[in-house]
């Protein structure tokens, strides 16, 4: 793909989308008086409302064969599975933002490329359909783990109003694990399914599932209620979360994929911990990470970039081989 032919507006959109996605952590921490599962539900509810009219337009313009395939039980099952993964991803990640520092949460939740490598290594032993990871992917994963281990030496350090804890870091890592399931479901369906017809039901399912989860697990659920985002003290912040990090961020990234390679988008998204930390420091007084987190985070990001570059290169090679 020749990036010289990519319109300038797409590069601007890519930059805005990455900043939008990166802003979510700081915004979620800013409204931490709301229990985390309920906070995650509100964000998904509002994002689903924003996606709804675009999904309706795509449905009305879709051909009949796509509608038939969309309503097949296999498609519906994957949509629901994706919504479940999205709910657990958001629930664990937002909970981590209350239990550790912003930087640590962002570093561990974005470590899913490394998790994919581990999954491939395990599955390759039991399935002939899964290839063993490339040696550079394994090297990148090892470098990533080295960086993650170094950041864990910061346990107990203060960053803004939050203290680095192992529990919080593990919650963020769990968020990274479950987002892999969401990504896999998306790759299966997005081959033929329009973006809004995929994103709307999955986001809505995730938001709805988190309501009973919050009711059961969070003692102060009744203080806010399932639709407490309608209160004027919360509405502006959740509109920002839904519009900037949800709609602009994720929809913008999907739009950019039409014009630039997945590698460019993947590398840009890897910068989320850096940009997110800067946003938190500049606008929400979330503090700055200590030197061990900075060094460990840099090493972790190098490992992630290695894995992302190799994975995208391998995928492009497979595509070219299929077309030749």
Domain ranges in the chain are 3-323
d(CA 57, CA 308): 34
Tokens coding 255: 């739009």
Neighbours of 245 (CB within 10 A): 24
DSSP 8-state symbol, 162? E
Q: How many other C-beta atoms lie within 10 A of the C-beta of residue 148?
A: 21
pLDDT digit string, tens, across residues 144-170 = 999 999 999 999 999 989 999 999 999
Residue 108 scores a pLDDT above 90: yes
The whole-number average pLDDT for the span 217-234 is 96
Give me the mean pLDDT over the 200-229 stretch.
Answer: 97
Asked if the model's pLDDT at residue 316 lies above 70, the reply is no
Give the pLDDT mean for 289-295. Answer: 95
pLDDT (tens digit per residue) in 40-49 = 999 999 999 9
The residue written with tokens 């509405």 in the block is: 235
What six digits make up the tokens of 208?
């709805």
Please report where in the chains the tokens 């973006």 appear, as a residue: 195
Q: How far apart are CA 170 and CA 304, in angstroms?
A: 18
Question: Does 55 score more than 70 pLDDT?
Answer: yes
Taking residues 269-291, report their average pLDDT. Answer: 93
Overall average pLDDT of the 276-290 stretch:
94
pTM greater than the 0.85 cutoff: yes
Predicted confidence at residue 123, as pLDDT, reads: 80
Task: List the structure tokens of 261.
Answer: 């390679």
Rounded to whole angstroms, the Cα distance separating 91 from 94 reads 6
pLDDT at site 79: 97
The predicted-structure confidence for 228-275, as pLDDT tens digits, reads as follows 999 999 999 999 999 999 889 988 888 887 788 777 888 888 899 999
Confidence grade of residue 122 (pLDDT, cut at 50, 70, 90)? confident
For residue 2, what pLDDT is reported? 47
The conformation of residue 229, written as its DSSP 8-state character, comes to G
| Percent above pLDDT 70 for the chain | 94
Locate 14 and state its tokens.
């890519």
Q: What is the mean pLDDT of the chain?
A: 91
The pLDDT assigned to 72 comes to: 96
Dihedral sign for Cα 296, 165, 24, 175, please.
Answer: positive
Give residue-wise pLDDT tens across range 88-100: 999 999 999 999 9
Question: Are 140 and 93 in contact, with CB atoms under 8 Å apart?
Answer: no
Number of C-beta neighbours around residue 221 at 10 A:
20
User: Which pLDDT band, with edges at 50, 70 and 90, does 314 fall under?
Assistant: low
pLDDT of 3 strictly over 50: no
């Amino acid at each position: 793909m020749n990036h010289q032919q990519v319109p300038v507006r797409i590069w601007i959109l890519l930059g805005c989308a990455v900043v939008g996605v990166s802003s979510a952590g700081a915004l979620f921490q800013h409204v931490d008086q709301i229990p985390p599962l309920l906070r995650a539900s509100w964000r998904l509810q509002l994002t689903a409302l924003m996606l709804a009219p675009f999904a309706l337009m795509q449905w009305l313009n879709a051909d009949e064969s796509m509608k038939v395939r969309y309503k097949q039980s296999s498609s519906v099952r994957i949509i629901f599975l994706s919504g479940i993964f999205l709910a657990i991803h958001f629930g664990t990640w937002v909970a981590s933002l209350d239990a550790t520092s912003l930087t640590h949460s962002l570093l561990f939740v974005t470590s899913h490329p490394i998790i994919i490598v581990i999954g491939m290594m395990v599955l390759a032993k039991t399935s002939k359909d899964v290839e063993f990871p490339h040696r550079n992917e394994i090297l990148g994963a090892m470098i990533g783990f080295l960086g993650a281990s170094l950041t864990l030496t910061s346990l107990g350090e203060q960053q803004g109003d939050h203290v680095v804890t192992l529990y919080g870091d593990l919650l963020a890592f769990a968020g990274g694990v479950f987002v892999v399931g969401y990504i896999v479901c998306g790759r299966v369906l997005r081959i033929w399914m329009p973006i809004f017809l995929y994103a709307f039901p999955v986001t809505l399912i995730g938001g709805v599932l988190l309501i009973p989860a919050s009711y059961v697990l969070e003692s102060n659920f009744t203080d806010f209620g399932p639709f407490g985002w309608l209160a004027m003290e919360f509405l502006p912040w959740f509109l920002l979360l839904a519009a900037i990090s949800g709609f602009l961020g994720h929809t913008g990234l999907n739009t950019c994929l039409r014009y630039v390679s997945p590698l460019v988008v993947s590398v840009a998204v890897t910068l989320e911990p850096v940009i997110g930390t800067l946003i938190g420091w500049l606008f929400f007084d979330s503090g700055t990470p200590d030197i061990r987190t900075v060094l460990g985070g840099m090493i972790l990001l190098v490992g992630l970039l290695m894995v992302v570059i190799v994975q995208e290169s391998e995928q492009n090679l497979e595509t070219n081989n299929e077309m030749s």
